[in-house]
Structure 1
Amino acid sequence: MKENLLIKIKIKLYRYLRKTHIQNRLIVLFLILSLFPMLITGIYSYQKSSQAIHDKINTYSVEVVNQVAKNIEEELTRMEYQTIEIAFSELVQNTLSNYEKLSEWEVYDARYRMRADMVRKFSFSEYISDVQLFTDQGDKIIAYGDTGFTLTFKDDFRENLLAEIRDKNGAPVWEAVDFSDELHQVSRVYPENTPEKSYGIIIGRTIKELYDGSELGSIVIRINEDLFSDVYRNIDLGQRTEIFIVNSEGTVVSTRNNNISFNEKYPEPELIQKIRANSDAENESFELTIGEERNLTAYAPIKDADWYIVSTIPFSYLTRETGQIARDIMGVSLIIFLLAVFLSYIFTKSISDPLNNLVEAMNQVEEGNLEVKIDDQAQDELAEASSNFNQMVEELKGLLEDVKEKEKQKSNLEFKALQAQINPHFLSNILNTARLLADMQNADNLENFLSSVINLLHLSMNNKEDLITVEKEVEYLKSYLNIQQFRLHNKFDVKFEIEADLMSYKIPRFLLQPVVENSIIHGISGKSGQGLIEIKGFTQNNQVIFTITDDGIGMSEAEIEDLLNKKRENKDQFSGIGINNVKERIELYFGKEYGIEIESLKGYFTTVKIILPEIN
């Protein structure tokens, strides 16, 4: 009973609101909401505010590390391309392939030219410090680097690095390297308070022979670690937050903070364990205790190097402002919010429902449904708009019907007018040819010639059928070709290859003749010697395909464009129907997906392809 009473009250309120203007509704709503007093009743849930901040920072940190990972992947990819470019260069290939045969002078010359190439490539890069090549026998070629302080790895590091490169069989190898992995001519190159200056990343890969894939040696490029740490150095996720990169073994390979040891295991072994566990679960963040403090940890894989970009945010930073937020949020705000939601729902419902109905009706009209109608008996502006919309749809439907009918009539009249026309000059030529034949050949060929003329005249004057069978069209086409053979003294041969099943299909009248006529006038007639026209017909993918190919003088792209898009009149044509007219008629009958395609090579051939639907 109470539910029914509430429903009746809601309906009456709804109907009353629909009798007032939208502006008045909004004013009343504003006054109702603004007159409620704001009373402080307590602190809003500390847990909810804390969770909101936690989720926001978590989402932001995940987005940040993902973006950093993408940026670093781009740098890795760029460096991998550099190794491939160097490895496949002609100079490197030739030097390593013939290294055992080269004299000392030739080796020196090769090194000199390599250094010149590398200087041009890397002299403007502050991150590339050394490029070295190793032969398959372990001989080192210094292709780029400081000649005063030559990069030399310790034996065990070098042997392990080259062994790993060989095991990868052409895939890139990424390794962190620092001062302890290198041999130096002086005891200390870098000041003790700047150890990060000696941090480096090694990329190495096998160099293979370009053609047979045999191993020629290895390439090693030393990159300053700053190339990667500079990507995230200035990113600020909050107080005491850290960003660094570890490999799949938990070794730090990039860091912006000297408190995190480079090229050593991260102090918390649980980090890499949780990364592996969460990778399987597709989680991008987790909690990690570092020292005695809980941290929100986000990570993103750097796939090309099997690395992870990691950010750590202390929970003390996350919860620092929630106390103030709790004091500012009052319980009464929740009451005001719920009341505002209820009233807003009632008021906006009276506006949104008619608008939604109007939008839905508009969408249906957009999809082509002109039978849609909005039933709105209210007395506000939206009801008036709905009424106007109904009237507009009715008028639009009438206009479209008028346009369709007029276009149909216009197209029928234009085509029938074209069908009824025979070019007087063409007919004069035919009759002159008939007179000459009768005079010169004692009328032996006159019967065949005149039969072809009569067939064409019958087709031209018969306007009852818009569609005829392929068999009938081919019969008329042969009559036309017979006449042209007489006129042009057997200037060309014709070859028909039309599938037998296709003969019963229907196509528009005068479809093939204008195309063949174009081949004769614009292709064969301009050619010296005998010509050939091939006419093929077949079905393919539920379509009827005709191709007319001549070995005449061909056309340029501009001529093809002109032929397809401009109406032409030629006094030597059988009728006023040209290729442009054929194209337009096909699109008118069957739609834009059907029509004509032309392929031609100037001086060699022209092929016209006609695409039609199957009408059996």
Structure 2
Amino acid sequence: MRYKIMEKFKDCKIGTKIIIYYFIISVISITLSTFIYQNINKRIMTKKVSEMAVQTLQTIDSNLKLLIYTVNNESKILLSNLHFQNILKNGDERFNYNSQTAVNRYLTEFIQSNMSISSVYVFDNYGNRYFVDKKVYKSFSLNDIKNTYWYDELQKAQGGYIIKFNGGGLFNQADQKFVSFIRIINDLESQKPTGIMVINIPEDAISNSFKNITGNNDVDIMLKDENDNDIIHSKELTEYSISEDIKKNLKKNLKNEGKGDHYYFTERVNGNNYIISYLKTNLNWTIISKVPFSEISKQSNIYMLVILGMLLLSGIMSFLGLILVSSSITKPIDKLIKSMRAVENGEFKKVSVGTGNDEIAKLKNVYNTMICKIENLIEQIMLEQKIKRKAELNVLQAQIKPHFLYNSFDAISCLALEGKNDDVYKIIKALGNFYRTSLSNGREVISVREELQTVKSYLTILQIRYENLFVINMDIDDRCDEYKILKLVLQPIVENSIYHGIKPSRRMGNIFISTYLKNDYVELIVGDDGVGISEDKLNSIRKLNTAGIGLRGTMERLNIFYNGKSKLEVESKLGFGTKVTIRIPIK
């Protein structure tokens, strides 16, 4: 029964298949919609509340930075006072009632201009102390500062400031909390330390920096320093309101995430859900917030979320339905695609897919017919191209061989007229070796070793003909010897080097022949130290716009045989010689 139903379904139209699939999926989607909506709603609300917490923490961080920035700028104004600088610099001589009064007056004006500062303590290098404190006097000396754990950190700041809670242990008052702004005072001229300044920012100033942020929201804030000391907290949030497991998780993420990173987690307190968030500031402080989920926000957005959720769900289910439908179409088509890709590798195979009598089956039949015709057509084209390429190579090679033969007979005739029969014999024998190697039983490709032997035979002829004209310098990489290359690619280039490079210079020259095995190609180099080539003529050669048969024919033959994958580069400088580099791919 099942087999019959599946067979009938295969014979259905694609439109019918889509309707069946979509009906099944619609039933499933209605069943799952309620469950999905609840999860989506919870996820969205968690994200919204966490975003609000992040914005709150970032705003508090910005306000704290602004507070420190203001104190820093105000302190710079105070330190730039020349009279103040002179008193500190000459404290061993000028510390008296008048100097102390003058400095205290400056400090008083400084505090009055900045309401966020409660006290300022200044010590010169001689231990003399100047201070103004709005609250309770704090008893500590220059030696107490030098004995603190943070004194080395202060010196490394080199005139910059450091921030410590309650002076980093200088003073601990149970009823008061301060954030201490501490910096070394440098002389304006010599930039040498002349004293130390401690500015205390009270708890009230810090609270006021984010009072407006949390005043209208049910948000609790805690601020901790780098040593986990509780600087300030608002409302009911204390370190004990967070469970030990969550605190460990927070510290773990604080260590791994790094400065400036935000981390949050959810916690249920007294039946209400809260998001506990933290932010690590540039001051190495930690800002912690406890933000409740808003019931009003839930109610106002619930209907919109339902509508959006259902639309999204319907879209997803429809998409899944289309995927299922398309899979019944694409599976047979995938086989067609694999067959098409195999065609790129020269494999022409008919496709056999299990289909009924639908549109896919018709497509398969048309494709198989097309494959047969294409296979026959490509075979015909390849045969024609092979015959054409063979003819082109033969024409170019036929142009090169007579060109060399004419020059060889010219040399033989000259030697015969001069009566040098031994040299005539050597030339004829070398010429025979040359043609024996170059003909190579009709082969188009020969080994690098055979090509070099052809060149050596040619050079033997020219050395006899032109006595004391050139010296041969060969640097042969034996690894290249058995690699196959197109024959007669070096001889025309060597011929050009002698006739157009060495001979016009009217002096003895050098011919350089080298072979190298690179990563994926064999490199053949022919060079000379002759007259060189002008820039204009060099550009013409590179564009194959030259009347010379030898070099132009070699470039065309290489391009045809290797389908443009080989490279021939000509480098020359007038008066210094020419170098021709041929790179032939190994595969």
Question: What TM-score bracket applies, with the shorter chain setting the length?
Answer: 0.5 to 0.7
- Counterpart secondary structure, 1:379: coil
1:23 to 10, 15, 22: 15
Greater share of residues in helix: 2
Q: Tell me if the contact between 1:549 and 1:605 (Cα under 8 Å) persists in the aligned partners.
A: yes
Amino acid at match of 2:413: R
Matched, 1:498 2:476: yes
Q: Tell me if the contact between 2:489 and 2:554 (Cα under 8 Å) persists in the aligned partners.
A: no
Q: TM-score, normalised by structure 1?
A: 0.53
2:451 to 460, 470, 473: 473
Q: Deviations over 1:472-507 (max 9, x none)?
A: 322221222234446666432211232456555544
Separation in 2 of the partners of 1:342 and 1:349? 10
Q: Deviations over 1:506-548 (max 9, x none)?
A: 4432132133234335544554633212212344557544332
Separation in 1 of the partners of 2:392 and 2:182? 77
Over alpha carbons, which structure has the higher Rg?
Answer: 2
Q: Which residue number in structure 1 is paired with residue 553 of structure 2? A: 577
Tell me how many residue pairs correspond in the alignment. 446
Moved more, 535-544 or 467-476: 535-544
Q: Deviations over 1:227-284 (max 9, x none)?
A: xxxxxxxxxxxx98999999966799xxxxxx999xxxx9869799644402567797
- 1:163-312 aligned at under 5 Å gives the runs 163-164=152-153, 167=156, 274-278=249-253, 285-287=263-265, 295-296=274-275
**Percent identity over paired residues:** 23
Q: Which residue number in structure 1 is paired with residue 368 of structure 2? A: 390
Moved more, 483-492 or 381-390: 483-492
- Counterpart secondary structure, 1:20: coil
- 1:518-557 aligned at under 5 Å gives the runs 518-521=496-499, 523-525=501-503, 527=505, 529-539=507-517, 541=519, 544-554=522-532
- Counterpart secondary structure, 1:354: helix
Separation in 1 of the partners of 2:366 and 2:288? 60
Q: Which residue number in structure 1 is paired with residue 43 of structure 2? A: 52
Q: Which residue number in structure 1 is paired with residue 298 of structure 2? A: 321
Separation in 2 of the partners of 1:244 and 1:584? 79
Q: Deviations over 1:269-305 (max 9, x none)?
A: 9799644402567797432679998654667889xx7
Separation in 2 of the partners of 1:553 and 1:301? 74
Alpha-carbon RMSD: 6.1
Q: Tell me if the contact between 2:279 and 2:288 (Cα under 8 Å) persists in the aligned partners.
A: no
2:348 to 346, 370, 374: 370
Separation in 1 of the partners of 2:403 and 2:311? 93
Moved more, 312-321 or 436-445: 312-321
Separation in 2 of the partners of 1:43 and 1:501? 74
CA drift at 1:393:
3.0
Matched, 1:353 2:369: no
Separation in 1 of the partners of 2:286 and 2:342? 50
The 1:560–1:24 alpha-carbon spacing in structure 2 relative to 1, beyond 3 Å, is farther
Q: Deviations over 1:199-226 (max 9, x none)?
A: x999xxxxxxxxxxxxx99xxxxxxxxx
Q: Tell me if the contact between 1:58 and 1:298 (Cα under 8 Å) persists in the aligned partners.
A: no
Give 5+ residue unaligned stretches, structure 2.
Answer: 63-124, 126-141, 168-180, 184-191, 194-216
Q: Tell me if the contact between 1:535 and 1:549 (Cα under 8 Å) persists in the aligned partners.
A: yes
Matched, 1:440 2:415: no
The 1:391–1:353 alpha-carbon spacing in structure 2 relative to 1, beyond 3 Å, is same
Separation in 1 of the partners of 2:35 and 2:480? 81
Separation in 1 of the partners of 2:309 and 2:52? 31
Q: Which residue number in structure 1 is paired with residue 491 of structure 2? A: 513
Q: Tell me if the contact between 2:523 and 2:581 (Cα under 8 Å) persists in the aligned partners.
A: yes
Moved more, 509-518 or 495-504: 495-504
2:396 to 418, 421, 425: 418
CA drift at 1:390:
2.5
Q: Which has the higher contact order (CA 8 A, sep 6+)?
A: 1
Q: Tell me if the contact between 1:543 and 1:613 (Cα under 8 Å) persists in the aligned partners.
A: yes
Q: Deviations over 1:138-193 (max 9, x none)?
A: 9xxxxxxxxxxxxxxxx979x99995387599xx9996799x9xxxxxxxxxxxxx
CA drift at 1:382:
1.9
Separation in 2 of the partners of 1:446 and 1:347? 86
Give 5+ residue unaligned stretches, structure 1.
Answer: 1-7, 73-137, 139-154, 181-199, 203-215, 218-238, 253-258
1:408 to 377, 381, 386: 386
The 1:427–1:395 alpha-carbon spacing in structure 2 relative to 1, beyond 3 Å, is same
CA drift at 1:45:
7.3
Q: Deviations over 1:39-76 (max 9, x none)?
A: 999965785244432575599899x99xx9xxx9xxxx
The 1:177–1:50 alpha-carbon spacing in structure 2 relative to 1, beyond 3 Å, is same
The 1:312–1:376 alpha-carbon spacing in structure 2 relative to 1, beyond 3 Å, is farther
Amino acid at match of 2:384: K
Amino acid at match of 1:482: T
Q: Deviations over 1:558-589 (max 9, x none)?
A: 87675456375425x4x97323423543x25x
- Counterpart secondary structure, 1:401: helix
Q: TM-score, normalised by structure 2?
A: 0.55
